A and B are shown apart, each in its own frame.
Chain A
Amino acid sequence: SQQGEEDPQALSIQEGENATMNCSYKTSINNLQWYRQNSGRGLVHLILIRSNEREKHSGRLRVTLDTSKKSSSLLITASRAADTASYFCATGGGSNYKLTFGKGTLLTVNP
């Protein structure tokens, strides 16, 4: 079953604006990952945040994790048209290392 739930399901912004996507989950986690998927393509790993971390940065990406609220957010700053894609959060940590994906946010960045 899908554990992560992203919101919004779809987000449309103008180039240069910031985009924030949220993810909630239900069970305890060891880490949470964010992935990007261009239309009709595979997934690309963006960033991983461990359960003992609260915030992490990578380039224009900023991820936060609040384990007390079982939620995470992904912020993309100064968005570009090339950032248009679907973004998924994923949780894992079981002994079989399975990832469980959320439903995703479709981000459209208009030039």
Chain B
Amino acid sequence: GAVVSQHPSRVICKSGTSVKIECRSLDFQATTMFWYRQFPKKSLMLMATSNEGSKATYEQGVEKDKFLINHASLTLSTLTVTSAHPEDSSFYICSARAPGTGNYGYTFGSGTRLTVV
């Protein structure tokens, strides 16, 4: 089945630094990837939709200059949290949709726990 690899699984960074999270589709090409943020014991909040070869579409209230998304190839999307602050600490999850699968082909990464100290 379709596999999405997300890396790193855990990262601790200092305030003011940037951290990059990678999301790779291992055995399929993903024209669209999605980035979510999840607070403890809460649901997933969609941050942005990442489209290969074009700019990401951000949800209302998500700072595009703070959460940089790049989808340079059909198998890789990256989320860079710039100038991280402690309030950016959260669980970030990506998902990928294989082309031609409509709403049926979503595969999720295993998530990245970001802690900003």
Q: Do A and B bind each other?
A: yes
Q: With an 8 A cutoff between CB atoms, is A88 at the interface?
A: yes
User: Once the chains bind, are A97 and B102 in contact (CB under 8 Å)?
Assistant: yes
A96 to B106, CA, bound (A): 13
User: Once the chains bind, are B44 and A101 in contact (CB under 8 Å)?
Assistant: yes
User: Once the chains bind, are A97 and B32 in contact (CB under 8 Å)?
Assistant: yes
Chain A residues packing against B (C-beta within 8 Å): 2, 30-31, 33, 35, 40-45, 48, 88, 92-93, 96-104, 106
Q: With an 8 A cutoff between CB atoms, is B75 at the interface?
A: no
- Closest partner residue, chain B, to A92 (CB atom): B103
**Those of B1-25 within 8 Å (CB) of chain A:** 4, 6
Give the shortest distance, in Å, between B74 (CB) and chain A (any CB).
16
Assuming the contacts A48-B104, A92-B103, asked whether A98 and B46 have C-beta atoms less than 8 A apart, the reply is: yes
- Closest partner residue, chain B, to A43 (CB atom): B108
Chain B residues packing against A (C-beta within 8 Å): 4, 6, 32, 34, 41-46, 49, 57, 91, 93, 95, 97, 102-104, 106-111, 113
User: Once the chains bind, are A104 and B97 in contact (CB under 8 Å)?
Assistant: no
Looking at chain B's contact residues, the main secondary structure is strand
**Residues on the B chain within 8 Å of A103, using CB:** 42-43
**Residues on the A chain within 8 Å of B103, using CB:** 30-31, 33, 48, 92-93, 97, 99
User: Once the chains bind, are A100 and B93 in contact (CB under 8 Å)?
Assistant: no
Give the shortest distance, in Å, between B37 (CB) and chain A (any CB).
12
- Closest partner residue, chain B, to A100 (CB atom): B46
User: Once the chains bind, are B44 and A98 in contact (CB under 8 Å)?
Assistant: no
**Residues on the A chain within 8 Å of B4, using CB:** 42
Give the shortest distance, in Å, between A26 (CB) and chain B (any CB).
15
Closest 8 CB pairs of A and B: A42-B108, A43-B108, A42-B110, A92-B103, A103-B43, A101-B44, A101-B43, A42-B111
- Closest partner residue, chain A, to B94 (CB atom): A42
